[in-house]
Structure 1
Amino acid sequence: MFERPKAGQRALLVHLQFPGADFESDRQEFIELARSAGAEIVDVIGGSRREPDPGLFVGSGKAQEIADTVAATGAELVIFNHALSPSQERNLEKIAKARVLDRAGLILDIFATRARSHEGKLQVELAQLQHIATRLIRGWTHLERQRGGGIGLRGPGETQLEMDRRLIRDRIGTLKRHLEVVRGRRAQSRKARERNSVPTVSLVGYTNAGKSTLFNALTGDATFASNQLFATLDTTVRRLALKSGETVLLADTVGFIRDLPHDLIAAFRATLEEARDASLLLHVVDAADPERMSRIGQVEDVLREIGALEVPRLQVFNKIDLRDSEAPRIERDEHGAPARVYVSARTGVGLDLLREAILERLQPGLPESELVLPPSAARLRAQLFTQHAVRAEAIDEGGNFHLRVAMPYQRLRGLCAAAGVPPPPAPAHLIEEWELSP
């Protein structure tokens, strides 16, 4: 046994290749993750295996190589780019005489340093506690000591390990209760937006695809954006004005990554539901990333896990300024609907096309109303046409305009009130909600 160091930034990285994996791409991402956590990388050990060793994950020879490198470099921490079981971590620590951290622990550590809001900090703490709850029986010698022996503390007591486990269980319960309150508030906010027929568009994508930069470029906001993994964690929602005069809510969400820890997905459930309940997802892709197609699949795996795969998606190929001869454009699917938009959030090229594509993808889902306007309401009629809200029009013998309009009902009612024109009847689902409201 050994006393585990309380801190340590000097890290030895271990990355093995398994069948079907892209070794070099995964290795480079691993190095970026370690740097994002503030690690001082002393060396990177590679290798290949068909399958993990049950006891050490690596073979005994590779484990000894790790121990020798730790001794030679003075590494305080060994980080694996793989998921390790608690027993594998414990066995490796005994051999290496250094603290061992797996990929999930590394990502959780990065999230802990990036969380800014109260909600984000609660989510990260919950994920960390759930992760370490099964990893308490490790190199801490003090955890085996009994409480007792002092005045007022004599008796069998409980071991430090048992007390730590109990404290963790209690804290996990408290965090879950707090996050349920947060989740309830988010659900109420979403219901309010639905009542007001305000569509929500959520940005999703692999981490470092440029989501926050795109968010800032579209909304004029100043959300922190940086060329690093998981630059922002906390969901930010701002209004986005489209060319029609329509307003939608744009939400910037946490970035996804390969093998995102399940504890983290569970803890961030309230945040990720912003994506699941959105009217449209903008899947931001780094157009300059040679692994972009693989990244698309990995993001869709996470969307599937949180139940958001059925939400309509529009792919946004960002960073075209880093590619030669890549022009801003909209690519359409077989039905003629926008499927991909090529833009550069950094230079602003193609953002007008993106706004047009968002509007086109949202308009089919907007509620339609039948509106009759007298000839004196020509100004309101012109407004509706300017906002691209008119789906069909007919004129009767008295010169009245019969319009079929697609826009949020609350907004249409406001326009009618401003023009002094009776609004059309409210949709049935809104009448039911108003009747049920206290």
Structure 2
Amino acid sequence: MNTQRQIFLIVVLLFISVAGCAAYTAIDLPIRAERQADFFEAESIERGALLYANNCRTCHGIRGEGGVGLTLNKAAFRNQEPLALSQNQDLIRRTLICGRAGTLMPAWLDSNGGSLTANQIEHLVRLLTAPLEGETFDANGNPTNHGWLAAVEFAHNLNHESSASVTGDTLPLIAAAHGIGANDVEGAILIAELNGLTYAVDGSGNFYLPYSGDDEALMLNPAADNIATGLLPGQTLRLPEGAAYRVSAGDTLGSIAERHGITPSQIRSLNPLLLSIVGDIADDTPLTGERKLLLPDGTMYTAQAGDTLVSIAEAHDIPVLALAEDNELAEDAAIAEGTELALRDGTGYIVQFGDTVLSIASAHGLSESTVRSLNELGAGEEVSTEVWIALPPINAYVVAGADLAQVASGFGNVTAASLGEANGLAAD
């Protein structure tokens, strides 16, 4: 009897234990699952923050505020409405996997040539779509979340450990900018030999100036003339006869002259066609770097497929309103292919990518010979978008370095002031 009672008691206790465990599991498992999901989400966002700081901050800013790249820390991405959240995550995921054609955004998935795994991309997706958190603010007092705070902290730590290689002129760059040689390496060799510089070309065809000494102090000494160390800012070079100069946007006659050890008047005397196009400009007037052709007075333009009043005005460097008024059109009028538009006397044409002398002449109702004659183009010579100016013999081209603003421009989260502070230099 005692044995039967013991067995019965054991069964009852076992039943109670099993029932208790089942009840505990039924009650606690959803809570623990929710906590585990929250932990996983928070951990994933923090990993996304580290990945962002390592891979994205230079273009999109340390806070996602944008820079070279688009703004990523924005309300639209934080929308937690299920359909909007799903669409945003799909958009970001596809962009990271495949990149964006026609932009600087590359594909990041490792199987597409990038450096991130699919799981790492998911961490970034979660960071960019994480909602704001109550009572969480950034250094500027703006609402944010712990993911972006972590991204900023990681970025600051990485900035202190990062370095930038500061470069300026190289002989291949100088050769390319002056049309020297059949290619930049051949041009670099011509400049090096003209200036008595020791040079080398490696097995891949890359040109460089080797350091041939064993004294590192000499390598940094501008007065040292017995070794080849690369170019130093302020160093002067002779350029081969016949060198020209490719104008960049922002150049002025004064800056070009100073860089080449000549005077603006020498540039003017050798480039009358340029002056007839840009006019009687001051030495410090910025040039656009756009190739512009002269057109005869009374020229008509025939609209091409895809043309708009705005695109036609921009291509001829005239105000849209002026073009519309001259042709009795509304400023927002649609332009059909084949429409003829009158151009004011003195109007020129800015060469577009893919243009030829024939296509420009045909669109303006002119003969090729007329366009060539007005713009001093030889028989068979084609046009390009580049502006080249003739130079006198150059005996003192001044090698340029890079200032802090130019170095900082390559990073989305760095300024000349912050670089100067980190390196004990003045921002200017």
Name whichever structure is richer in strand by fraction.
1
Structure (1 or 2) with the larger CA radius of gyration: 2
Instruction: Report the TM-score, using the length of structure 1 for normalisation.
Output: 0.25
Higher relative contact order (CA 8 A, sep 6+): 2
TM-score by length of 2: 0.25
